[in-house]
Chains A and B, each alone.
Chain A
Amino acid sequence: MQKYYGWGLPYNASAYGADVDRLIYLLHGFMILLFVGWLIFLVVALFKFRSRPGHQATYKPDHFKAPTYIEVGVALFEAFLLIGFSFPIAKHVRTLPPKGEALEVRVVAEQFAWNIHYPGPDGVFGKTDIQLMVPANPVGLDRNDPAAKDDITVINQLHVPVNKPVIVHLSSKDVIHSFFLPVMRVKQDVIPGQNVPVWFQAKDTGNFEIACAQLCGLGHYRMRGFLIVEQPEQFAAWQAKYAPKVPAPAPVQTPASPVTVAKE
Chain B
Amino acid sequence: MSEKQHSHDLPFWRKYIFSLDHKVIGIQYGITGLLFLFFGFCLMMLMRWQLAYPGQPLPVIGNLFSERMMVGGIMLPEFYNQLGAMHGTIMVFLGVVPLAVGGFGNYLVPLQIGAPDMAFPKLNMMSYWVYFLGGVAMIASFFLPEGAAQSGWTSYPPLANIAASGQTVWLIGMVFLITSSLLGSINFIVTIVQLRAEGLSFFRLPFFVWAQFVTSFLLLLAFPPLEAAGVLQLMDRLAGTSFFMPSGLVVAGKALEVSGGGNPLLWQHLFWFLAHPEVYVLILPAMGIVAEVFATNTRKPIYGYKSMVCSVIFLGFMSFIVWAHHMFLTGMSAKMSSFFQITTMIISIPSVILLTALALSLWGGSIRFSTPMLFAIAFLPMFGIGGLTGLPLGLAASDIHLHDTYYVIGHFHYVVAPGTIFALFAGVYHWYPKVTGRKMSEILGKIHFFLSIVLINGVFMPMFILGLAGVSRRLYDQMQFAHAQPTQPLNVFMSVCAWLLGLAQIPFIINIFGSLIWGKKVDNNPWEATTLEWAAPSPPPHGNFDAVPEVYRGPYEYSVPGQKHDFWPQNMAKEN
Where the two chains meet, the residues of A that have a C-beta atom closer than 8 Å to any C-beta of B are 1-2, 4-10, 19-20, 23-24, 27-28, 30-31, 34-35, 38-39, 41-42, 45-46, 49-52, 55-61, 64, 67, 70-71, 74-75, 78-79, 81-82, 85-87, 89-91, 93-94, 110-111, 130-131, 133-135, 173-176, 178, 180, 182-183, 185-189, 191-194, 196, 209, 211-222, 224
Report if A20-B300 is in contact (Cβ < 8 Å); known contacts: A71-B353, A82-B345.
no
Contacts of A49 in B (CB 8 A): 298, 362-367
Instruction: Provide the bound-state CA to CA distance between A125 and B338, in Å.
Output: 33
Nearest Cβ on chain B to A205's Cβ, whole angstroms: 16
Asked if residues B478 and A221 are in contact (CB atoms below 8 Å), the reply is yes
Number of interface residues of B (CB under 8 A): 98
Asked if residues B403 and A187 are in contact (CB atoms below 8 Å), the reply is yes
Report if A86-B395 is in contact (Cβ < 8 Å); known contacts: A191-B330, A213-B472.
yes
Report if A214-B81 is in contact (Cβ < 8 Å); known contacts: A35-B384, A93-B397, A224-B481.
no
Asked if residues A130 and B255 are in contact (CB atoms below 8 Å), the reply is yes
Instruction: Provide the bound-state CA to CA distance between A188 and B517, in Å.
Output: 58
Where the two chains meet, the residues of B that have a C-beta atom closer than 8 Å to any C-beta of A are 77-78, 81, 151-152, 156-159, 162, 245-253, 255-256, 262-265, 298-301, 303, 329-331, 334, 337-338, 341-342, 345, 348-349, 352-353, 356, 359-360, 362-369, 377, 380-381, 384-385, 388-389, 391-392, 395-398, 400-405, 465, 468-470, 472-478, 480-487, 490, 558-561, 566
Instruction: Provide the bound-state CA to CA distance between A111 and B251, in Å.
Output: 8
Asked if residues B474 and A220 are in contact (CB atoms below 8 Å), the reply is yes
Asked if residues B334 and A94 are in contact (CB atoms below 8 Å), the reply is yes
Instruction: Provide the bound-state CA to CA distance between A16 and B256, in Å.
Output: 39
Instruction: Provide the bound-state CA to CA distance between A56 and B342, in Å.
Output: 44
What are 16 A-B interface contacts by the 8 Å CB criterion? Answer: A2-B486, A4-B482, A8-B469, A9-B468, A19-B397, A57-B298, A57-B559, A71-B353, A81-B391, A90-B337, A175-B157, A192-B245, A215-B159, A215-B473, A218-B81, A221-B476
Contacts of A78 in B (CB 8 A): 345, 348, 391
The tally of CB-CB contacts under 8 A between chains A and B is: 281
Contacts of A67 in B (CB 8 A): 356, 360
Contacts of A64 in B (CB 8 A): 303, 360, 363
- Which of B247, B362, B482 has the most A CB atoms < 10 Å from its CB? B482
7 residue pairs, one from A and one from B, having the closest CB atoms: A193-B246, A61-B364, A89-B397, A58-B364, A57-B299, A182-B470, A57-B366
Knowing that A57-B365, A187-B329, A214-B404 are A-B contacts, what are 17 other residue pairs whose CB atoms are under 8 Å apart, sorted by A's residue number? Answer: A5-B483, A10-B483, A27-B395, A38-B384, A42-B380, A46-B367, A57-B299, A58-B365, A111-B252, A174-B251, A174-B256, A175-B251, A186-B400, A192-B264, A209-B482, A213-B472, A214-B156
Asked if residues B264 and A193 are in contact (CB atoms below 8 Å), the reply is yes
Contacts of B392 in A (CB 8 A): 23-24, 27-28
Partner of B483, one of A79, A182, A221: A182
Asked if residues B469 and A9 are in contact (CB atoms below 8 Å), the reply is yes
Asked if residues A211 and B250 are in contact (CB atoms below 8 Å), the reply is no
Asked if residues B263 and A31 are in contact (CB atoms below 8 Å), the reply is no
Asked if residues A31 and B559 are in contact (CB atoms below 8 Å), the reply is no
Asked if residues A90 and B380 are in contact (CB atoms below 8 Å), the reply is no
Partner of B388, one of A20, A34, A192, A219: A34
- Which of A70, A135, A193 has the most B CB atoms < 10 Å from its CB? A193
Asked if residues B342 and A82 are in contact (CB atoms below 8 Å), the reply is yes
